[in-house]
Amino acid sequence: MNSAIVLCAGRGKRMKSGINKMYMEIWGRPLVLITLESMISVPEIDELVVVISREDEALFNEKVFERLECRKKISIVYGGSERQESVYNGLQKVSDGCEIVIIHDGARPFATRDMIKRTIECASAKGACAAGVPAKDTIKIVDEEGIVIDTPNRKELWCIQTPQTFKLDIIKRAYEKAVSEGYAATDDSMVAEYSGEKVQIVMGDYENIKITTPEDIPFAKAILERRR
């Protein structure tokens, strides 16, 4: 059984929209609705656990849940103050019998079925994986004054996306270790790495953007228009 945890509890302060960016509409449809519909369409996903902000529950029910056409099991759980806490809460909600868990940002509506399937297959074989794409730009490490102190080899750099997919026992054990030891990470693969797991990178998609700032909206509209 494969379960998907979709993270929709973030406030999206960088969007500067006045509302949770998950409920901003693109071509008349809330962002989170687009994301959930794409996950529902993947046959390999058996259930969804949607992590929302407690204060957005009424908004989610009105704008998203009532518009979803889904025969799969959908569970709702409240998120925490940080992404890591939200994932941890979601992991506690997956059904008994789950073997593989797919963790995905609600602000990434363009993950394809093929990409998600690749991560499921990889996690089944190797235990832990994350979607990503090779960095196109040269990356600089700078100090607090903006002075370059190092330039990593671009051939070794990947921009990591979601989904990040794991065998359930591996990622639950990793999160329990992180929580008990007060380790803070910015994504799930970091949590797995901290517990000693090797994380395999799976080719993602440059269109699998995370909608974070107002500048991302035109790109999202263009991708949606092209995929119609």
122 touches 200 (CB < 8 A) = yes
Residue count of the chain: 228
Return the higher-pLDDT residue of 65 and 131.
131
- Hey, what are 44's tokens? 């390999």
> Would you say residue 224 lies in a domain?
no
> Would you say residue 15 lies in a domain?
yes
Residue 40: CATH number of its domain: 3.90.550.10
Confidence (pLDDT) at 137: 97
How far, in Å, CA of 184 to CA of 202, rounded? 24
Nearest to 200 by CA among 120, 145, 143: 120
Q: How many domains does the chain have?
A: 1
> Would you say residue 226 lies in a domain?
no
* Minimum mean pLDDT range among 153-157, 186-190, 214-218: 214-218
> Would you say residue 228 lies in a domain?
no
Q: What average pLDDT does range 31-36 have in this prediction?
A: 94
How far, in Å, CA of 106 to CA of 127, rounded? 23
- 159 bridge partner residues: 133
Residue type for position 174: A
Whole-prediction pTM: 0.94
> Would you say residue 211 lies in a domain?
yes
Angle of helix 168-181 relative to helix 83-91, nearest 10 degrees?
130
Q: How far is CA 221 from the centre of its chain?
A: 20
Nearest to 192 by CA among 115, 132, 129: 129
Which tens digit of pLDDT belongs to each residue from 160-184?
999 999 999 999 999 999 999 999 9
Q: What average pLDDT does range 200-222 have in this prediction?
A: 93
**Distances, alpha carbon 14 to alpha carbons 10, 21, 94, 211, in Å:** 11, 9, 30, 10
Return the higher-pLDDT residue of 195 and 218.
195
Q: Quick one: pLDDT band at residue 188, thresholds 50, 70, 90?
A: very high
Confidence (pLDDT) at 198: 98
> Would you say residue 7 lies in a domain?
yes
Residue range of the domain that includes 116:
2-219
> Would you say residue 156 lies in a domain?
yes
99 touches 46 (CB < 8 A) = no
Q: Quick one: pLDDT band at residue 13, thresholds 50, 70, 90?
A: low
Confidence (pLDDT) at 10: 72
How far, in Å, CA of 194 to CA of 175, rounded? 9
Sign of CA dihedral 143, 133, 89, 166: negative
- Hey, what are 118's tokens? 């690749």
Phi-psi group of 123: left, alpha or beta (phi > 0 → left; psi -120 to 50 → alpha; rest → beta)? alpha
Phi-psi group of 99: left, alpha or beta (phi > 0 → left; psi -120 to 50 → alpha; rest → beta)? alpha
Confidence (pLDDT) at 66: 85
> Would you say residue 225 lies in a domain?
no
Which tens digit of pLDDT belongs to each residue from 112-166?
999 999 999 999 999 999 999 999 999 999 999 999 999 999 999 999 999 999 9
